[in-house]
Chains A and B, each alone.
Chain A
Amino acid sequence: GAGVSQTPSNKVTEKGKYVELRCDPISGHTALYWYRQSLGQGPEFLIYFQGTGAADDSGLPNDRFFAVRPEGSVSTLKIQRTERGDSAVYLCASSRDQGPGELFFGEGSRLTVL
């Protein structure tokens, strides 16, 4: 499909484990965003990339969270030593470029930490 693709759609893991979440943005979109959303809350900004570089990572909650986009397309969000509080839906979005354009979201990766 032509939309933003996220894998896995669901991930259940145990406290303390390492997790990787993948996002494949819309082809040609230079800006890529990661948000996380807990039940009853709006999406919380984590990080966004313009090309390969992280233009703003101010939303990453602590150093257990890291994201890469080595070739300016696919991005991976990495969470080390997962905690129960990390449980949420992790949403990826892309847009044609940075600026006040429309964000196109993927369906999200639902992470459950037991």
Chain B
Amino acid sequence: RKEVEQDPGPFNVPEGATVAFNCTYSNSASQSFFWYRQDCRKEPKLLMSVYSSGNEDGRFTAQLNRASQYISLLIRDSKLSDSATYLCVVMLAGNTGKLIFGQGTTLQVKP
């Protein structure tokens, strides 16, 4: 079983739609969680950290469910520019520095 699992998609949605991605992680000792965004043939860039209480940044909301070991990302009012691959990232407790990436979920926003 992979340490971090994501549905690769692609998710094809119209502009203005709300879309949600989930990610599950296998190690219950994981302590830090992130979403990174990767555009086609580009390097990954941090989108947002995920906090236990959930957090929001504009149209993006991230949530963590430790009991079920999953992380979610919600995108409201999708824009064409949101088209990218979204990578779920986990860091284990006591292993500061090593970040484990999921396969990524591809989003295509259509006009």
Contacts and interface: CB of A to CB of B under 8 A. Distances in A.
A45 B96 contact: no
A13 interface: no
Contacts of A108: 43
A100 B98 contact: no
A107 B42 contact: yes
B20 interface: no
Contact of A45 (B32, B42, B43, B98): B98
A69 to B, nearest CB: 14
A28 B70 CA distance: 34
B97 interface: yes
A42 B104 CA distance: 6
Interface stretch (B11-19, B44-52, B56-64, B71-79): B44-52
Nearest to B85: A42
Interface of B is mostly: strand
On chain A, which size bracket covers the interface? 20 to 34
Contact of A99 (B8, B97, B103): B97
Contacts of B95: 56
B100 interface: yes
A75 to B, nearest CB: 14
B44 A56 contact: no
Interface in A61-114: 91, 95, 98-100, 102-103, 105-108
**7 smallest A-B Cβ distances: which pairs?**
A100-B32, A105-B43, A42-B101, A98-B97, A43-B101, A99-B96, A102-B46
Given A91-B44, A105-B43, A107-B42, 13 more contacts: A33-B97, A42-B4, A42-B101, A42-B103, A45-B99, A48-B97, A48-B98, A59-B98, A95-B97, A100-B32, A102-B46, A106-B43, A108-B43
